[in-house]
């Protein structure tokens, strides 16, 4: 860029400087108004701000550097005003270009992206609904670790070492535990019952607690079994708790969950931590007790186990919480599998579908 691209400076008086810089500012405004695309915008920038041949550089060389000392300040002020006008024009055009590009990229007539609302997994929903039934009866919710010690998972629940009942709850043991005493060895809990012991050790009676959670057993996967499943257990401890209280509580819970027409019946059973113990059956919710393929034509479906808390269990707790004296208090406990209840409620024939992660299957419960 040569000095021919800039007007001739007629002198260094204020009037002469005002006239020369005024003409340049007006030229900048006129040129900026005509910029219509990115190419013109870039050409305008190079014309005025180019490092080697830009007009601003030419003005600085021709007018500012060669000016007498007394005029440099006045020229410098007007030079800065001209530079501000150029920057303002470039900023304005940049905004226009950006908006134009955005308008080209964004088609506001297209339909928006639909974000589906998530739902609870059917197992979680079933578990929450059943827990809600017991919360309405005044039960609090308890939680505990999934990695337990042998003491809390077995020994404190009246499963002494080498007891044959342990075989029914074969579990997954944490590696490298052989050097520890048996009661301190870590394993994946086989039921949520350890939370009952932990809660009793921390809270004196009376106590009413319901315990939902994930459990683990060394079972082969098939249509009705899984090495990982969920349980809901309950515990009630107070003075003068009887088996009638247990029957009334479970009968109410089954009616609240499956409908008021459901009936319950109890059969003698065995669990190491309860005595006496019972299996609970409900009248078939599919045929109303008339007999069908799902209830094996018996009219009844076995659903959960229960019983009165064995005094030996209170004996273990009493070591840390003296209030659990089996001579003064009594209690009942129960436990049920969430998957079995969910399979009945939703008509699912294979437990593995709950863990498959198949959105087509889970979408049915939305």
Tell me the domains of the chain and their CATH numbers: 3-105 (no CATH), 122-365 (3.30.930.10)
Alpha-carbon gap, residue 237 to 310, rounded angstroms: 12
pLDDT in tens, 322-346: 999 999 999 999 999 999 999 988 8
Q: Are 169 and 217 in contact (CB under 8 A)?
A: yes
What are the residues whose beta carbons fall under 8 Å from the beta carbon of 166, sequence distance 6 or more? 154, 159
pLDDT in tens, 199-231: 999 999 999 999 999 999 888 888 888 889 999
The token pair at 219 is: 């079972």
Strand, helix or coil for residue 148? strand
**pTM summary value:** 0.66
What secondary structure does DSSP assign to 291-322, as a single string? --TTTTTSSEEEEEEEEEEPHHHHHHHHTT-T
State phi, psi for 208 to the nearest 5 degrees: -135, 115
Q: Are 282 and 264 in contact (CB under 8 A)?
A: yes
Pairing mode, strands 207-216 and 228-238: antiparallel
Residue with tokens 């410098």: 76
pLDDT in tens, 99-137: 555 555 667 787 877 777 778 899 999 999 999 999 999
Instruction: Count CB atoms within 10 A of the CB of residue 221.
Output: 13
> What percent of the chain stands above pLDDT 90?
46
* Predicted local distance difference test score (pLDDT) of residue 107: 72
* Predicted local distance difference test score (pLDDT) of residue 105: 67
Alpha-carbon gap, residue 33 to 194, rounded angstroms: 80
């Amino acid at each position: 860029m040569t000095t021919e691209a800039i007007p001739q400076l007629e002198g260094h008086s204020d009037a002469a400087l005002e006239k020369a810089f005024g003409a340049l500012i007006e030229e900048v405004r006129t040129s900026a108004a005509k910029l219509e695309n990115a190419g013109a915008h870039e050409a305008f920038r190079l014309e005025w701000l180019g490092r080697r041949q830009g007009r601003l550089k030419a003005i600085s060389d021709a007018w500012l550097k060669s000016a007498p000392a007394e005029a440099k300040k006045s020229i410098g002020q007007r030079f800065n005003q001209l530079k501000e006008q150029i920057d303002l024009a470039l900023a304005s055009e940049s905004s226009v270009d950006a908006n134009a590009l955005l308008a080209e990229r964004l088609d506001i007539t297209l339909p928006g992206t639909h974000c589906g609302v998530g739902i609870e997994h059917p197992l979680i929903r079933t578990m929450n609904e059943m827990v809600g039934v017991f919360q309405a009866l005044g039960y609090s919710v308890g939680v505990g670790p999934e990695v337990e010690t042998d003491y809390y998972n077995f020994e404190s629940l009246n499963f002494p070492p080498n007891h044959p009942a342990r075989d029914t709850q074969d579990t997954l043991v944490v590696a490298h535990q052989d050097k520890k005493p048996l009661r301190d060895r870590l394993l994946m809990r086989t039921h949520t019952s350890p939370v009952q012991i932990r809660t009793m050790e921390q809270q004196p009676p009376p106590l009413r607690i319901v315990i939902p959670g994930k459990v683990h057993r060394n079972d082969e996967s098939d249509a009705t079994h899984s090495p990982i499943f969920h349980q809901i257990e309950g515990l009630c401890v107070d003075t003068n708790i009887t088996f009638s209280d247990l029957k009334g509580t479970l009968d109410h819970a089954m009616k609240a969950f499956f409908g008021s027409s459901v009936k319950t019946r109890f059969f003698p059973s065995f669990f190491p931590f309860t005595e006496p113990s019972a299996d609970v059956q409900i009248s078939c919710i599919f045929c109303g007790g008339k007999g069908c393929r799902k209830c094996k034509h018996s009219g009844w479906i076995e659903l959960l186990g229960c019983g009165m808390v064995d005094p030996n269990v209170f004996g273990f707790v009493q070591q840390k919480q003296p209030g659990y004296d089996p001579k003064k208090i009594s209690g009942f406990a129960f436990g049920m599998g969430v998957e079995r209840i969910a399979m009945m409620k939703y008509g699912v024939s294979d437990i593995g579908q709950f863990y498959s992660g198949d959105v087509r299957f889970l979408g049915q419960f939305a």
